[in-house]
């Protein structure tokens, strides 16, 4: 396996960040206009910024892609992806479907798109447990079916249901072995 960029894609609370952490590779820190959640750290979880600054960066050619998700803007810097492709050290990131497709189109041979699937009601419960407000939960659940369909663009799909975490961990373990020892 010669992939240098692993992109996790899936509905909100499907478990993208959980599987990304289990994979244990360096992470691309992307940019967002959304407010930090409790416990999130600027520069570690995201570069938190304003929509205006993100737009300026995009129009100055500093961003490889910028996409909208549930009323907030998200984007990946050109430099962060260039560093990975040139450096060759496997690195991971999480993205919504359009950004993931854009990166795959730009770097097809280096990018592995990993879809994360889950049942709708489990997803809703996880969002509730994460302490999201009811309105926020409904906003994030509104496109659940579409987001599940969009997983068809992925190279592989990991089912991360409540009863399947062990198997999901095993798949991530195999993936890690393959990425680090190829």
Ligand X SMILES: Nc1nc2c(ncn2[C@@H]2O[C@H](COP(=O)(O)OP(=O)(O)O)[C@@H](O)[C@H]2O)c(=O)[nH]1
Instruction: Give me the residues that bind ligand X (CB under 6 A), please.
Output: 12-13, 16, 30, 34, 65, 67, 69, 74-76, 94-96, 98-99
Contacts for 144 with CB less than 8 Å, ≥ 6 apart? 11, 120, 123
Q: Give the one entry of ligand X, ligand ADP, none that residue 160 binds, where binding means its C-beta sits below a cut-off of 5 to 8 angstroms depending on kind.
A: ligand ADP
CA distance 49 to 133: 22
3: tokens are 């992939």
Q: Select 96 or 175, whichever has its Cβ closest to ligand X.
A: 96
Q: Give the one entry of ligand X, ligand ADP, none that residue 76 binds, where binding means its C-beta sits below a cut-off of 5 to 8 angstroms depending on kind.
A: ligand X
5: tokens are 């960029």
Q: Select 13 or 118, whichever has its Cβ closest to ligand X.
A: 13
Rg (CA), the chain: 16
Give the shortest CB-15-to-ligand ADP separation in angstroms.
3
Stretch that binds ligand ADP, among 11-19, 38-46, 47-55, 96-104 (CB under 6 A): 11-19
Give the shortest CB-173-to-ligand X separation in angstroms.
22
Q: Select 57 or 103, whichever has its Cβ closest to ligand ADP.
A: 103
* 130 lines the binding site for ligand ADP (CB under 6 A): yes
Give the shortest CB-29-to-ligand ADP separation in angstroms.
14
For every residue of 106-125, DSSP letters joined together read: HSTTTEEEEEEE--HHHHHH
CB–CB of 44/29 below 8 Å?
Answer: yes
User: Exactly one of 4, 9, 18, 80 binds ligand ADP (CB under 6 A); which one?
Assistant: 18
CA distance 34 to 90: 27
- In three-state secondary structure terms, 38 is coil
Percent of the chain that is helix, strand, coil (3-state, to 5) = 45, 20, 30
Binding residues for ligand ADP (CB under 6 A): 10, 12-18, 126, 129-130, 160, 162, 165
């Amino acid at each position: 396996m010669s992939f240098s960029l692993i992109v996790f894609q899936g509905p909100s609370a499907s478990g993208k960040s959980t599987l990304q952490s289990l994979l244990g590779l360096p992470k691309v820190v992307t940019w967002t206009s959304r407010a930090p959640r409790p416990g999130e750290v600027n520069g570690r979880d995201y570069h938190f910024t304003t929509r205006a600054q993100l737009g300026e960066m995009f129009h100055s050619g500093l961003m490889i892609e910028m996409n909208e998700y549930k009323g907030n803007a998200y984007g990946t810097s050109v430099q962060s992806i260039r560093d990975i492709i040139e450096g060759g050290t496997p690195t991971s990131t999480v993205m919504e479907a359009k950004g993931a497709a854009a990166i795959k189109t730009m770097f097809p041979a280096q990018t592995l798109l990993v879809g994360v699937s889950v049942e709708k009601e489990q997803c809703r419960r996880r969002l509730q447990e994460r302490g999201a407000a009811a309105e926020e939960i409904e906003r994030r659940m509104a496109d659940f079916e579409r987001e599940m369909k969009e997983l068809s663009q992925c190279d592989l799909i990991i089912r991360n249901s409540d009863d399947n975490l062990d198997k999901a961990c095993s798949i991530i373990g195999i993936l890690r072995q393959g990425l680090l020892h190829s």
